[in-house]
Structure 1
Amino acid sequence: MFIDIIFSLVIGGTVGIIGHVRKHGKIIMPRKTKKFLYLGFLEEMLLGAVAALLLVLYTAPNSYVENIIFSLVAGIAGDAALSGFKLIKQKSEEK
């Protein structure tokens, strides 16, 4: 089970980084401003990794193929959730 956890974290984090590069066209490094800490690519990497970990722990896959599929789906879903939160934030700022 420990190998499944590590495997899901790596795949989910990789999917998060790929989603970040797809959205921004490059890897944006973390930076700190006066009022805010912007995590850059780490934000999406961590979200994808945690989403993949939670899904793999919840479903307990029986094989590595299932682990890969669940981790990919969770990483993509985490990226979609992050995009949805940003869209909601932008719409609320426009009003």
Structure 2
Amino acid sequence: MFYKFAAVLATLLAIHVYRSGWAFFHHVLTVPNLPEGYFIGGDYRDHCVIIKDEKDNRLNHCEYMVFWDHLNEEDHVTNRFILPLCDSG
């Protein structure tokens, strides 16, 4: 009786590991190809500027981004700046 139960349990466990092994490999062990930028209103290249510090690459450890909106007299956004809060890492 115990051997039948152990055989069925081992078979079910092997099937589960076989079927979910690829999902674990592809979703946990591999890094997905993320886009360079994303903008909900369309193409990010038209609306966003990628910040790069070519001199000494100190923008690697940014934790917060704060929007700084410039409004006109009718309270419409004329310019939007992003203030990254970074440390030298």
TM-score of the superposed pair, with normalisation by structure 2: 0.28
Larger C-alpha radius of gyration, 1 or 2?
A: 2
Determine which structure has the larger helix proportion and give its number. 1
Q: Which of 1 and 2 has higher RCO (CA within 8 Å, sep 6+)?
A: 1
Higher strand proportion, which one?
Answer: 2
